Amino acid sequence: MRGVHRPPLAAKLRRHHLIALDCLVAAVLVLVGVANLAAGAWEPGHLPAWLTWFAAFAIGVPVALRRVWPRQAFAAALAISVLCALGGGAWVTYFALALPVYTLALGESRRLSLPALLITLAFTLAVNLATPSTGILGAVGLGWTVLCSAWLIGRAANERRHYLALSAEQRTREAVTGERLRIARELHDVVAHSLSLVTVKASVAHHLADEDPAQAKTALGVIEHTAREALTEMRQILGVLRSNGDAGELAPAPGLAGLGELAERARMAGVDVALEVSAETLPEGVEVSVYRIVQEALTNVVKHAGPAKCRVGVGVGEGVVRVEVTNDGPSVTGGNPGHGLIGIRERVSLYDGAFRAGPRPEGGFAVTAVLPYE
């Protein structure tokens, strides 16, 4: 099964793609300004010709750098806009200031972005009042419309980001709470039933120990059998709570010996898996957790990274087992953490271990879990 690919226009652009797009917009802005200056469309200003040409070429620089240094880009855009206005090209400043204003509204607080907008509005009004003409109202209206629209769109996007972050955090908390509640319900059923039976049989064995040793021995056998079943069922709860509910999944989860089969399944789904296991045996509960962590991590690779190279490493050292699953496929960011990662985090927390999941600097995604054991 091959991974699902997004259409090119639906794929999320990365930061360097957006910066390249800004450079393209800046180049268009410079080209339009220089062409109009060369054609004499700029009204004669109060600057030397060389300084006017410099302003026309430099007006696009803040637009190209607005994502890298948003505050500095806004200040530079305002300064260069003053030069353009003095050189007779006031109209180009409306568009040169709009994108830096949008960036401030998107990434900064309202306390900073709103004064920046007011400064640009005052600048536009002052420039048009300094060079009165019959179209002054239209020029001011155009400038204010462009600048206010840029600020409003930026603030709307900022509020949307904030809402999505809060919503994702809330959903994560609800998922974690639901996970814990399910574990608690399952454990309650197992423990309550088993301990009730154990208590009754222990009482019987206690009273019949002297009078009827055979019956007492039978009661002790029931206690032993019930306790073993309870332990097995509790292991199954922790092992299959996140399973798909298939009947085959209700069997005790395999340990390190089953990792090869997991890797083979992932290979059949199009993921090139390199498996490295330096451990031979671990406590049964730890082996189950290691198996499930690798299972969930490989499932995420198959679902989100598509055809990719993946490395699965399981190593032991100084009372801890370290599980690391990395891939070089596209990482999914800005979304909600899936149930798989939430389940891994909860499983690791049962052992007071450490868990980390996120994009790698060199590309791809990494899931790392460290579980201590005795």
pTM for this prediction: 0.49
Task: Give Cβ neighbours of residue 371 (< 8 Å, ≥ 6 apart).
Answer: 286, 289, 290, 320, 321, 323, 348, 351, 353
pLDDT value at position 244?
45
Average pLDDT over residues 54-63: 84
DSSP state of 47: S
Task: Give Cβ neighbours of residue 5 (< 8 Å, ≥ 6 apart).
Answer: 306
Percent pLDDT > 90 in the chain is 8
Q: Is the pLDDT higher at 175 or at 57?
A: 57
**Which of 131, 51, 49, 61 lies closest to 91, judged by CA?**
131
Domains of the chain: 8-166 (no CATH), 175-247 (1.20.5), 254-372 (3.30.565.10)
Residue 133 pLDDT exceeds 70 = no
pLDDT value at position 275?
92
Neighbours of 291 (CB within 10 A): 22
Token pair of 3, please? 């991974």
Please provide the average confidence, as pLDDT, over all residues in the chain: 78
**Which of 116, 23, 118, 122 lies closest to 66, judged by CA?**
23
CA 327 from chain center: how many Å? 16
Burial 296-311 (b: 16+ CB within 10 A, else e): bbbbbbbebbbebebb
pLDDT value at position 225?
73
Tens-digit pLDDT profile for residues 269-324: 667 889 999 877 788 778 888 888 888 888 778 777 667 789 999 998 888 899 99
pLDDT value at position 355?
92
DSSP state letters, 211-271: T-HHHHHHHHHHHHHHHHHHHHHHHHHHHHTTS---GGGGSPPP-GGGHHHHHHHHHHTT-
**Which of 354, 358, 276, 277 lies closest to 320, judged by CA?**
354
CA distances from 360 to 168, 266, 300, 313, 365 (A): 22, 21, 15, 16, 5
Q: How far apart are the C-alpha atoms of 146 and 95, rounded to whole Å?
A: 7
Least confident of 8-12, 16-20, 167-171: 8-12
Q: Is the pLDDT higher at 85 or at 369?
A: 369
CA distances from 21 to 9, 66, 75, 286 (A): 14, 12, 21, 49
**Which of the given ranges, 111-115, 183-187, 300-304, 331-335, has the highest pLDDT on average?**
111-115
Least confident of 224-238, 258-272, 359-373: 224-238
Residue 370 pLDDT exceeds 60 = yes
Residue 154 pLDDT exceeds 80 = yes
Residue 45 pLDDT exceeds 80 = no
